[in-house]
Structure 1
C-alpha cells in the first residue's frame, strides 16, 4: 500500500481499515485511486511533484461551483500540498448516464453561468493542467483575455520555442487588435475554466458532476467555445443550455478566438501537433 493513501484517508477523518485500493485510469497529470474503507469510498488524486497550491486551488474551484447550488461536484474531504505529499481526497462518484443526463448538464451549466462575479479573472494564479495560469481581477474582459490568457501563452510559447516567426508575428498582431474581435463589457460569469468532455462525470440517478476545474470569472461564451473545440457534448446539451440561457449574437464571431487560448495551451504542453490549428485561426483573423 502506498503510505500516502493511508495518510490521506486518515486526514479525511477516517481511521477505519482500508481493504481495497484500485488504480483509476484517466488523465495524464495525477495518479488516481479508488480507495474503499470500512466506512466510506474515496477518490484520491496524488501528484509527486505538484506545483504550489495545486490541490488547494482545485478544491477552491470545486467549492465555488458547489456554492452556486446549480450543478453537482464531488465533495472535497481533504487535501495537502506538501512537497512530495500532495493529494486530494474526494467523495467517490459513480452512476449510469440516462437519456436526460446531457440535457441536465446543459441546463445546470447555464444556471451556473447565471451566477456573476464582480470582476473578470481570479484573485490568484491557477493552473491549466500543470501550467501556471496568470490571473488578476479586471473590470474589462477584453483586457483580462489579452493580458492573462493570450499574452501569457505567447510568452510561454516563445520560451518553449513553439511560437516563432510568422506565428509569433501574427499572434502579436491579433493581441494588438483584440478589441476588433472580443467584447469588452461582459458580465463575469462563474466558469469551470477547463470544460472539455473528460471533465464531467455521472453520479447517482444519472446526475452530471463537474470535475477538475480551473476556475475563473469571465465571459460564459469562452466556456462554451471550449466545449465545441474537441467535442464530447451532445446536441441535447446545447439545446438545453440555449433554452435556459440563450447565447449572445456575438458568439459565433469570437468563438475561434476563444478556442485559440486552449489551442495555445495544448501547443505549449504537447507540441507542434496543435500548431496547424493555431495557424488556421491566426490566418483567418490577421492573415
Structure 2
C-alpha cells in the first residue's frame, strides 16, 4: 500500500521522502492517519479494497465543492489501492473549534457555496453516502417528491427493517410531500452531512468542509442540521442570513429536514435520543392527517 501511495504523491508533488506516519483517532468507518511527504502533510483514509468506489466518490464530491471557490476543502492527492486495501490521500489541515467570530464567517461562506452555480433539477450524478447509508440521487424536477421519497421514505423503510416503527410509511411520505408541495427552491449544492465532525475552522480562521454527502437540493437542509448540535454556534446561521436570508416558512420546514438526519442517526448508530426525537416529529405529522 505504501508503494501505491508514494507513486500517487510523487505524481502530484514530485519526488520526496515519505515519513512520520501517525495514526489518528476519531474515524467511525475508516482508519485514518497523517504522514509527512517532504514538506507536505497528508491526511490518509484507509480501508479494505471494497471501499475503493466510495473513496472515488468522496474525491469527486470534494473536487466539486472545491470548484465553488467559496470555502476551504482539502485538496485530493489521489485515490488508490493494492490487493487488499484502498485509500484516499487528502491535504491535511490542523483544525480549531468554532467561536462567535469565525462561526459568522463560516456561515457567510456556506451561503456563498449554496449560491454557486445553477442546476435545474434535484439530485446528483451518482448516489452518495451519508455515513454507511446510500443516498439515492436520481434527478427529479419536483423537490417535494425527491425529498419525501428518496430521503424520508427510504429511511423509514430501513428503520422498519431494524424494528423501529414510526407509523404508516406511505402515509408519512404523503404528508411530507404535501407539506412541501408549495416549496420549489433553487437547487443548491449541499454538503449534505453538516454536523460537527464534518466541518471546522482552519488555523487561518477559514471555514473548512470534509466528509461530504453531496447532492443538489434545498439549502435549508444544510441549515436545519445546525440546531441539532450545541457545538455549532448560532452565529453560523446569523452569518448565513447576512449573505442570503432564509425564506419565509423555513422554521415550519426545519423539522421535516431534521427528521431525515435523525432517521439516519437512528439507522446508523441506533441512538435512542435520535429515535425519540424523530418519533416526536412523525407523531406530529400523523396528527395532522
> By the TM > 0.5 criterion, same fold?
yes
Aligned twin of 2:171: 173
CA RMSD in angstroms, aligned pairs only:
2.0
* TM-score (structure 1 length as normaliser): 0.90
| Residues in 1 aligned to 2:6 and 2:29: alpha-carbon distance in whole angstroms | 21
CA contact (8 A) 1:45 1:89 kept: yes
| Residues in 2 aligned to 1:19 and 1:198: alpha-carbon distance in whole angstroms | 27
SS in structure 1 of the partner of residue 278 of structure 2: helix
How big is the shift at 1:81? 6.3
- Deviates most, 73-82 or 21-30: 73-82
| Residues in 2 aligned to 1:83 and 1:260: alpha-carbon distance in whole angstroms | 40
SS in structure 2 of the partner of residue 9 of structure 1: helix
How big is the shift at 1:12? 2.1
How big is the shift at 1:99? 6.1
Match of residue 131, structure 2, among 122, 129, 132: 129
Is it true that 1:23 corresponds to 2:23 in the alignment? yes
In the alignment of these two chains, the number of paired residues is 280
Aligned twin of 1:10: 7
- Deviates most, 51-60 or 96-105: 96-105
CA contact (8 A) 1:121 1:137 kept: yes
User: 1:72-97: CA deviations, max 9, x gaps?
Assistant: 10101101367742211001112556
Structure 2 unmatched runs, 5+: none
User: 1:69-123: CA deviations, max 9, x gaps?
Assistant: 1111010110136774221100111255676321211000001111232211112
- Deviates most, 8-17 or 134-143: 8-17
CA contact (8 A) 2:148 2:177 kept: no
Is it true that 1:112 corresponds to 2:109 in the alignment? no
Question: Which aligned pairs between 1:91-110 and structure 2 lie closer than 5 A?
Answer: 91-94=91-94, 96=96, 100-110=101-111
Question: Which aligned pairs between 1:105-254 and structure 2 lie closer than 5 A?
Answer: 105-115=106-116, 116-162=118-164, 164=165, 167-169=166-168, 171-182=169-180, 183-254=182-253
Aligned twin of 1:281: 281
Structure 1 unmatched runs, 5+: none
| Residues in 2 aligned to 1:6 and 1:81: alpha-carbon distance in whole angstroms | 10
SS in structure 2 of the partner of residue 213 of structure 1: coil
Structure 2 vs 1, CA of residues 135 and 41 (structure 1 numbering), >3 Å: closer, same or farther?
same
- Deviates most, 35-44 or 13-22: 13-22
* TM-score (structure 2 length as normaliser): 0.90
Structure 2 vs 1, CA of residues 47 and 172 (structure 1 numbering), >3 Å: closer, same or farther?
same
